Structure 1
Amino acid sequence: MTLEARTLRALEYDKVLHHLARYCVSEAGREACLALAPCPGSDALADATALLEDARRWSEHTGFRLSVFPPLGGVFRYLEGQSAVLDLEALWALRQMLTQARALVTSVAEGAATAGRWETLSTLTLRTPLPLRSVSGLERCVSEDGLLRDESSPELLLARQEIRRLHQQCTRKVKDYAQQYNILHYLQDEFMTLSSDRYVLPLKSNFKGRLQGIIHDYSQTGETCYFEPMFLVEVNNRLQELKREERAEERKVLTYLTDLVRGELAGVRAAFDLLVTADVLLAKCALAAAFDGSVVRMESGRTLDLRKARHPLLVLAGHAVQPVDIALGDGQRCLVISGGNAGGKTVSLKTAGLITLMALSALPVPAAPGSSLPAWTTVHAFIGDEQSLEDHVSTFTAQITHLGRVWDGLDDSTLVILDEFGAGTDPAQGAALAQAVLDELMAHGASVIAATHFPALKAYALSREGVRAASVLFDPKSRKPLYTLAYDQVGASQALDVAREHGLPESVLRRAENYLLLDGEDTSALVARLNSLAVDRERELDALRAEEEKYRAKRMKLEERFARERETLFRDIQAQAQSVLRDWKDGKVSHKQTLKALSKVRETLSTQPAESQAEQEQPVSVDVATLRQGQPVFHRPWGKKAVVAEVDLRKSRVRIDMSGVFLWAEARDLAPSDARPETRASVTQTVSASPVPMRLDLRGMRADVALSELEKGVDNALLAGRSVLEIIHGRGTGALRKEVHAYLRQSPAIATFSLAPEDQGGDGVTLVEFR
């Protein structure tokens, strides 16, 4: 999809891109922002929008920010030459870029591991494997400050160590020589320096004939000559040899690093492109923060519904902008806005048009969450004075010419914006033409937003099916614009009021009012009354919205407090039950006292208020046939998450692992792992309504381990409100069964127990009923 340049220019789309580019940290990112265009198709737009939503969540969660990185287009072109060797500055730039790219990929991966809410962004980074050899080589050989490390190669390390040793040797020799021959007063500085890569002494020029040596250069003032004493000549000659060795080794390292990068050039380019993409995405996030914007998806079946929309450029310029709702109802394709001059009609048109272009480019827009746009792919805007004296074209002619040029391409994916269409000719003919154009545009399936002063077009908007009328509002007393749209009504043009406000003589205005009365067209009183009623209605609606928001916030706080109190209550009840059982096990209370205490705890649990209808809804059970070993599930009776350890399809049961505790569970007791945990009250009510037993499998355990698991199982069954417990101990020698029965006989919570019928396991299973 390619939009006309005149539409982009009329809606000032390029200015938005310049604002966006200011938030980038790189020159490449800024260039990418300025080249940003509406997405070429619905799939590309959906992907770009999803990527922006992921980037916003990732940025907010991790706080990741990019540092400045240089443009590398010239480096990539230079590398296309097979014999080209990059200099240290270019390699340092590559190192900085690749280091940031790795940090970016790591941030996305680590954030996804903890939050996991940006699949599109994760997929993008996974499709960009880093050139690991180049990253490793550059970080090993090039330091943070852009120097070649000594450890880049053994030969380079040896050469530099020898150069440093020579430096120390020269320093000692110069110091000894100066003290021996008492020449410190000959020197401008007591330290030696380098000239032409040779160690020299800064000798005062008037003493140059008193010492034997070679003069290499003079200072700019001529007062100092750089003098090489004869005892340093041999050392300097050796230094030159070492410098040549150092340069040769540095060249080898640079060649090696260049070959590494050239060998992974595709990956290096991809890493750079990923970094530029991230720079643009973070710039979009910053743009959204600048005008408190949201992401609006454009999908088929949606209607135009921009909530609290503001003109992007006015907001970014720092102006106080009155939000406006721009909306069409179901089955409506045309919005006709009328009302006084300087009331906000054109701004509303430009706001809708520019927000549409930004949404088509996957940019955040200054509109409230919940806003929506249809699946438009093309926008045509006819706004402003398009006349051209050079081409002998009037405004009216220019509009007709441009509309005729795009007419055949109009369809249901097109938005057409018309500002005062037909106003440049005879009013009657212009109004008739405007109505006909709107009819035909809607017949093509296009959507239209138009502004007009024509009375005939105002009546058309109120009477034509599929068209919605709106009026810009003015304050009834001050006659100042409120920059708000009132729907399903029309507004007066108020040309006289605007003229009066801008200084036109009163005599002219009175004469104009007389002409209106003579023509019988003064409807200002009626329209003013309609405007006043609309203003009152909007203020009442604003008050109701504020009241609704206040009650919504209050309800949210009450629900949060209720949830906290409910959780605290059930934790207390659970702790009481556990305390009673511990006291009985420790022999602190008798059998009857334990039963009485547990009964009181149960009464406390059963008298709690019923849960809300939403919480009482039974969670969806899982299908045993679909479960696999290691799959997470939720065990409703215990209110805990578990992992599938074994599946028994024949008996439709599952062996689950709950933090090291293994038991067999019926399918009806399991729910998907993301199911909402039920409260203890709802669990008790569910269980008490059904005598389905809880199962505890002790087979294969030693007696002491089995009794420990049995004790835990009994406790958990009591806490869950179970009336029946099924203990699977197996037949075997019968020793484990005896131990289990001995424990059950002395437990105060057990009413009766017996071996199961043969069809339920026979003497390999014991059925327990609680008091």
Structure 2
Amino acid sequence: MRILDKEKILARSKERLEYPELLNFLAGYCKSEPGKARALSLEPSQNLEKIKRDLNLLKEMMALFDSGLNPPIGHFSDFSQSLEHAEKGVSLTAKHFLELLKFLNLAEANRVFFQKVKEKFPGLGELAGQIHNFSELKSRIHGTVDEQGEIKDSASPDLARLRQELSSLRAQIQKKLEKMLNSEDLEGVIQDSFYTERDGRFVIPVKSSAQTAISGIVHDSSISGATVFLEPIEMVPLNNRLRILEREIETEIQRILAELSSEVSLSKVQLLFALNSLSELDLLCAKAELARTLSASIPQLSTTGAIRLFQVRHPLLILRGKDAIANDLVMGTDTRVLVLSGPNTGGKTVLLKTIGLLSLMIRAGMAIPAHPDSELGLFPEIYAGIGDEQSLSQDLSSYSAHLLDLLAFLNYAQDSSLVLIDEILGSTDPEEASALAMVILKELKKRNCLTMVTTHLSRLKAFAETEPGFINASFEFDPLNLTPTYHLRLGLPGPSYGIATARKLGLDKELIEEAEKMLDPESRKLIELVSQLDLKQTELDQRLRRLAEEEQDSQMRSKELDEKGRRLLEKEQEMKKGLRRELESELRSIKTRLNQIYEEAREVRSTDRVKSAEKEIARIRKELDEKYPVPDQGEEIASEEWQVGDLAWVKRLKIQAEVIGLNPESQEATLGIGSIRIQEKISGLLRIQKKREAQKRETMVGSESALCANPARSSGNTLDLRGKRAEDAEIELINYLDQSVREGKPAVYIIHGHGTGVLKKLVREYLASSSYVKSFRPGEQNEGGDGITLAVLENMQIK
């Protein structure tokens, strides 16, 4: 079977990503026929300058909408074909000129509108500035065609004279006919008391039996034959003159239309420029309306191939009125292959389609449903192997069709291509599929493609843990209820939960048990271990999200409180940030340990190693449950029974704390959570344990003796945070300290600059609370001064 050519592969990839359906939604926001046609044929651009121009224009249009201004875009037709005819000497009709006049009025309104706002929106002003001032042509058409699309009498003196003569002649003819119909001499001859027209000539209805009573010409008869329509002989000269006048009028009208068509053809170039500008403005308005519907924004364009997408959602899910869960996806330039695993219905395919469709949108000059701080690469080519392409007509199995896709991708993909593969080689033997998948993905990485695949292949997941440039990812899944949460997690593979899902869906219990017995013991143990890890990971992720939600709630409430209340809330937020940092640090450490266990258990496949891994998992679970318990019991006691040293559960914060002070008058307790102190109403506490020895942590800051013999600053021991957002800087700082301690560095330099002082404050506050840091101080003059902080690290033996 021959591989499809490159253009067909790329076109099919767009269809698989449902790009045409997105264009249908976009076209629905357009108001003109040319605008709709432009939307439906919108192609992602390869030209960086054009992409930047289109996005800049859209940014201005979105800002224009946000300011409450709306351009006077309305319906207009595509008259380019009419201009071609006029240029060839073909006269346009009066209806054509009426449509053209409506367009010219609309073009003028937009030209004037954007002229007024061009200082604030220069790009849109320049685009609308291509619309010529057609005041003379507009006046000429207006003086020729009326609102019903008829030629006005005033179009020419001859036309006015001829129409006046025609009107007088008609009145003369009608008067004669009425007199004839009312004549007593013809009382038994006339069939009805009205006159009519046949072939453009006035006639009267005469009884067939009496037609010889009137001298004239019969032009027609009724169906029954009882009536003939007769032109009296004395009316013939008048009817002849009437027909001559009508032909003269038609000749004059054609002369006027030909003359006006010639004038229009002289303005063809300017009219086509105006048509292009107005249809582009219509499309920009449609893009802005679509962005508003999607709550979309324009990301930063990455030239390095990195992806930093925050709160990203699938646009078509939003447009179809379905729930679209927001997720974050960050892949640096060193990570080129994402291996996404986990159970079906968990959102894996949706993520692939989201990344692919958003990449097409940004190249087509559209905003994407993601946070404004996001960053997305401009992938010149996007290859999507998504969906079952089994072909009966070509005698292709699903596997063969899928393999042909992969062959095409390998044949055409190049530097910076985006390759998306759903269920890579999932329709053949898992061992062979894993081997093939590994070499294919390594080859794509070698070409510097950004590749994302979904899989259930265990060997491929294990391979991604150790292969440079690869990263595992999975969607959070509730192992207890076997329901997806659609929250993306980077760094860990996901269990498939195949047997567990079958159990939930009602497969016979005996069949389930028999299936579990048929698994080899090592595989069964490994599945249980990975499921336990997934459960604990889910618990930690959910706690982190709860803390983040509470931080957000606190920030919202702070705006409504007085200054005293605001200070209390700020203290609470600082406490939560400290807890969050501890959780994140713990989570990173656990991820590393879990990945090692997963990798070793998969590679060794020995009973002893599985048992060893099981013990390690149990130990990790015990550590976490002790450090971050979620007690399902705790007693409510009277306020006078509380004692300093009791271990309490804080219902509002869902955390444990030690009672270090009591105030019976205010009914408040002072609680200790590590080095943090908070006040809480006694009624909001549950007692977990009586009298516990408080564990106090000493923080050493600014010790001069610890700062001697510092290493010289180099790229290997320096972190530069300048220009970073506070949230990003904090994450980088946490990761950097964690890595530096593991590498055994004695001290590190943090460059934060002076600026507004926000980064400096953030860095030093975090260093003061970090267990990794023995001491820290501002840099000396020869080290960079107060724009740098030197941190001496604890000598930790981390394995």
Whether TM exceeds 0.5 here: the answer is yes
Task: Quote the residue 1:308 is aligned against.
Answer: 311
Task: Quote the residue 1:695 is aligned against.
Answer: none
Change (3 A) 1:166 1:338: same
Q: Which residue of 415, 418, 423 corresponds with 1:415?
A: 418
Q: Which residue of 116, 119, 122 corresponds with 1:119?
A: 122
Moved more, 499-508 or 180-189: 180-189
Task: Quote the residue 1:441 is aligned against.
Answer: 444
Contact 1:297 1:359 in 2 (8 A): no
After TM superposition, give the deviation of residue 263 of structure 1 in Å. 1.4
Could you say what secondary structure the match of 2:44 adopts?
Answer: coil
After TM superposition, give the deviation of residue 452 of structure 1 in Å. 1.9
1:707-732 deviation digits (Å, cap 9, x = unpaired): xxxxxxxxxxxxxxxxxxxxxxxxxx
After TM superposition, give the deviation of residue 189 of structure 1 in Å. 6.9
Q: In the alignment, does 2:86 pair up with 1:86?
A: no
Contact 2:107 2:131 in 1 (8 A): no
Change (3 A) 1:108 1:524: same
Q: How well do the aligned residues superpose, as a CA RMSD in angstroms?
A: 3.6
Rounded Cα–Cα distance in structure 1 between residues aligned with 2:166 and 2:491: 87
Q: In the alignment, does 2:50 pair up with 1:44?
A: yes
After TM superposition, give the deviation of residue 219 of structure 1 in Å. 5.0
Q: Which residue of 91, 95, 100 corresponds with 2:101?
A: 95
Rounded Cα–Cα distance in structure 1 between residues aligned with 2:187 and 2:351: 83
Task: Quote the residue 2:158 is aligned against.
Answer: 155
Change (3 A) 1:201 1:415: same
Change (3 A) 1:323 1:260: same
After TM superposition, give the deviation of residue 501 of structure 1 in Å. 4.8
Contact 2:340 2:348 in 1 (8 A): yes
Task: Quote the residue 1:491 is aligned against.
Answer: 494
Task: Quote the residue 1:351 is aligned against.
Answer: 354
1:246-265 deviation digits (Å, cap 9, x = unpaired): 11210111111110122122
Rounded Cα–Cα distance in structure 2 between residues aligned with 1:98 and 1:182: 61
Task: Quote the residue 1:711 is aligned against.
Answer: none
Rounded Cα–Cα distance in structure 1 between residues aligned with 2:369 and 2:375: 12
Q: In the alignment, does 2:64 pair up with 1:63?
A: no
| Structure 2 letter corresponding to 1:63 | N
Map of 1:581-620 to 2, 5 A cutoff? Answer: none
1:369-426 deviation digits (Å, cap 9, x = unpaired): 4332123222122223345566666655555554454547655532221223243444
Task: Quote the residue 2:276 is aligned against.
Answer: 273
Contact 2:83 2:264 in 1 (8 A): no
Moved more, 249-258 or 195-204: 195-204
Task: Quote the residue 2:132 is aligned against.
Answer: 129
Q: In the alignment, does 2:32 pair up with 1:31?
A: no
Change (3 A) 1:301 1:210: same
Change (3 A) 1:526 1:254: same
Rounded Cα–Cα distance in structure 2 between residues aligned with 1:70 and 1:188: 50
After TM superposition, give the deviation of residue 181 of structure 1 in Å. 4.1
Moved more, 477-486 or 101-110: 101-110
Rounded Cα–Cα distance in structure 1 between residues aligned with 2:204 and 2:73: 47
Q: Which residue of 223, 236, 239 corresponds with 1:236?
A: 239
Q: Which residue of 10, 17, 38 corresponds with 1:11?
A: 17
| Structure 2 letter corresponding to 1:11 | L
Rounded Cα–Cα distance in structure 1 between residues aligned with 2:474 and 2:203: 87
Contact 1:23 1:286 in 2 (8 A): yes
1:659-716 deviation digits (Å, cap 9, x = unpaired): xxxxxxxxxxxxxxxxxxxxxxxxxxxxxxxxxxxxxxxxxxxxxxxxxxxxxxxxxx
Change (3 A) 1:337 1:200: same
Task: Quote the residue 1:20 is aligned against.
Answer: 26
Rounded Cα–Cα distance in structure 1 between residues aligned with 2:351 and 2:189: 83
How many residues in Structure 1 have an aligned counterpart in Structure 2? 555
Could you say what secondary structure the match of 1:216 adopts?
Answer: strand
After TM superposition, give the deviation of residue 67 of structure 1 in Å. 4.1
Task: Quote the residue 1:108 is aligned against.
Answer: 114
Moved more, 420-429 or 47-56: 420-429
Contact 2:207 2:227 in 1 (8 A): yes
Rounded Cα–Cα distance in structure 1 between residues aligned with 2:70 and 2:207: 59
Contact 2:516 2:524 in 1 (8 A): no
1:189-245 deviation digits (Å, cap 9, x = unpaired): 766444333334456666655545444334556566544445544433332232122
Task: Quote the residue 2:434 is aligned against.
Answer: 431
Contact 2:208 2:225 in 1 (8 A): yes
TM-score by length of 2: 0.62
Map of 1:652-667 to 2, 5 A cutoff? Answer: none
Could you say what secondary structure the match of 1:141 adopts?
Answer: coil
Contact 1:326 1:352 in 2 (8 A): no
Moved more, 281-290 or 221-230: 221-230
Task: Quote the residue 1:294 is aligned against.
Answer: 297
Contact 1:17 1:36 in 2 (8 A): yes
Change (3 A) 1:222 1:49: farther
Moved more, 16-25 or 344-353: 16-25
Could you say what secondary structure the match of 1:472 adopts?
Answer: strand
Name structure 1 gaps, 5 residues minimum: 560-771
Could you say what secondary structure the match of 2:329 adopts?
Answer: strand
Task: Quote the residue 2:144 is aligned against.
Answer: 141
Could you say what secondary structure the match of 1:489 adopts?
Answer: coil
After TM superposition, give the deviation of residue 50 of structure 1 in Å. 1.9
After TM superposition, give the deviation of residue 509 of structure 1 in Å. 2.4
Change (3 A) 1:291 1:202: farther
| Structure 1 letter corresponding to 2:110 | L
Task: Quote the residue 1:673 is aligned against.
Answer: none
Change (3 A) 1:129 1:178: same
Task: Quote the residue 2:777 is aligned against.
Answer: none
Change (3 A) 1:189 1:352: farther
Contact 1:41 1:377 in 2 (8 A): no
TM-score by length of 1: 0.64
Q: In the alignment, does 2:485 pair up with 1:478?
A: no
Task: Quote the residue 1:72 is aligned against.
Answer: 79
After TM superposition, give the deviation of residue 153 of structure 1 in Å. 1.3
Rounded Cα–Cα distance in structure 2 between residues aligned with 1:97 and 1:30: 16
Name structure 2 gaps, 5 residues minimum: 1-5, 563-799
Rounded Cα–Cα distance in structure 2 between residues aligned with 1:533 and 1:427: 28
Q: In the alignment, does 2:245 pair up with 1:253?
A: no
Contact 1:39 1:360 in 2 (8 A): yes
Change (3 A) 1:202 1:136: farther
Change (3 A) 1:107 1:515: same
After TM superposition, give the deviation of residue 188 of structure 1 in Å. 7.4
Task: Quote the residue 2:731 is aligned against.
Answer: none
Rounded Cα–Cα distance in structure 2 between residues aligned with 1:43 and 1:429: 45
After TM superposition, give the deviation of residue 353 of structure 1 in Å. 1.0
Moved more, 155-164 or 188-197: 188-197
Rounded Cα–Cα distance in structure 1 between residues aligned with 2:69 and 2:226: 61
Map of 1:264-663 to 2, 5 A cutoff? Answer: 264-301=267-304, 303-329=306-332, 331-386=334-389, 399=402, 401-407=404-410, 410-501=413-504, 504-516=507-519, 518-550=521-553, 552=555
| Structure 1 letter corresponding to 2:37 | E
| Structure 2 letter corresponding to 1:36 | L
Could you say what secondary structure the match of 1:319 adopts?
Answer: coil
Could you say what secondary structure the match of 1:305 adopts?
Answer: strand
Change (3 A) 1:260 1:318: same
Task: Quote the residue 2:797 is aligned against.
Answer: none
Could you say what secondary structure the match of 1:308 adopts?
Answer: strand
Rounded Cα–Cα distance in structure 1 between residues aligned with 2:53 and 2:226: 71
After TM superposition, give the deviation of residue 351 of structure 1 in Å. 1.3
Change (3 A) 1:388 1:144: same
Change (3 A) 1:519 1:541: closer
| Structure 1 letter corresponding to 2:493 | V
Could you say what secondary structure the match of 1:521 adopts?
Answer: helix
Map of 1:710-729 to 2, 5 A cutoff? Answer: none
Rounded Cα–Cα distance in structure 1 between residues aligned with 2:380 and 2:474: 27
